[in-house]
Amino acid sequence: MRNHRLRIVLAVFASALASVGVLAYGLGSPQATLLGPALVRDGDPAEVMLTFDDGPSVPYTGEILDILRAKGVKATFFLCGASAERYPELVRRIRDEGHEIGNHTWSHPWLYLASRESMASEIDRTQDVLERITGTRPVWFRPPFGVRGFPLWDILRERGMKMMLWSDRGHDGDLDAAGISKITLAQLHPGAIVLLHDGFEARASEFVDRSATVSALPGIIDGVRRAGYRLAPAGRAASSSAPLLAAEGAAGSTRKPSSSRP
């Protein structure tokens, strides 16, 4: 009798643990679209997309824009509203130089346990400031840390917005320039969306050091081109007609999705 009860308790415990595991994967792993659609790889297999999160910041966003301009590359910047408000001239420069702008929340919170109201407010405040500065409300959203919460898909759908994650992570919070370049190029694949950073969460510039990303960038661009890919801003094709890529396998990467800090 006692054994039987123990088995039931264990079975319940195991199934709860499995549910938590599936949930954590679905809400937190960049490749997972279990709970809703997200772009993890762009539609054109001849292209690779560079994306920069958490900016703008000084001097890194400007330095990255200089490199992109010198090399004739267009990219996508997922901006935090608080940082955009600090540096509207950098936001305008991103727009004027032909890059795509996306929404990365106002203050870079974990959205996992956030209320619907606070998620919506993080997104709407950022849409408002970006529209005020650029004249346009972004279509693309990337959740901080790649972490989603349940109401997020509804909130985005209501606003006609779409979610973009990534399939090639530069680990530019952890590595030096050579390491960032090496790990980014090692993960290259058709349609790769590369995750790099020009800021740090939504923090003021004095708390940001993206010098390693800046140093790595020319080598990454050269390496992508040597591998035969074109560089394009992420999501431009997908925002018109291409369907959002679904789920596992879409990224073509066998790399284990990591708990990232985008």
Among 33, 47, 49, 53, binds Zn ion (CB under 5 A): 53
Binding part of the chain for Zn ion, among 11-19, 114-122, 143-151, 185-193 by CB under 5 A, reads 143-151
**Residue 21 to residues 25, 27, 33, 151, 246: CA-CA distances in angstroms?**
6, 10, 14, 19, 20
Asked whether 250 and 192 are in contact (CB, 8 A), the reply is no
| Closest C-alpha to 54, from 126, 135, 124, 125 | 126
Sequence-ordered list of residues with C-beta below 8 angstroms from that of 11, at least 6 positions apart, any chain: none
Q: Among 30, 62, 102, 144, which residue sits at the site for Zn ion (rule: CB under 5 A)?
A: 144
Told to judge if 197 belongs to the known catalytic residues of this protein, a careful annotator would answer: yes
Cα(54)–Cα(41) distance, rounded to whole angstroms?
Answer: 20
Which of 111, 106, 99 is CA-nearest to residue 51? 99
To Zn ion, the closest distance from the beta carbon of 261 in angstroms equals 7
CB 49 within 8 A of CB 231: yes
Q: 128 catalytic, yes or no?
A: no
Stretch touching Zn ion by CB under 5 A, among 128-136, 140-148, 184-192, 231-239: 140-148
30 binds Zn ion (CB under 5 A): no
Shortest distance, position 200 Cβ to Zn ion, whole Å: 8
Rounded to a whole number of angstroms, the minimum distance from the CB of residue 195 to Zn ion is 9
Q: Which of 27, 30, 52, 54 binds Zn ion (CB under 5 A)?
A: 54
Least CB distance to Zn ion at residue 53 (A): 4
Pairing of β 168-169 and β 193-197: parallel
From the candidates 42, 53, 54, 168, give the one annotated as an active-site residue: 53
The residues in 70-109 that bind Zn ion, with binding defined as CB under 5 A, are none
Tokens representing residue 56 in the block: 């703008």
Q: Which residues in 201-260 contact Zn ion (CB under 5 A)?
A: none
Coil, strand or helix at 164: strand
Tokens standing for residue 195: 């995750």
Q: Smaller CB distance to Zn ion: residue 181 or 260?
A: 260
Q: Which of 85, 93, 104 is nearest to 66 (CA)?
A: 93
Q: Rank residues 53 and 198 by Cβ distance to Zn ion and give the closer one.
A: 53
Q: How far is the CB of 226 from Zn ion (least distance, A)?
A: 29
The answer to whether 262 contacts Zn ion (rule: CB under 5 A) is: yes
Residues annotated as catalytic (active site), given as ranges: 53, 197
Q: Which residues bind Zn ion (CB under 5 A)?
A: 53-54, 144, 262
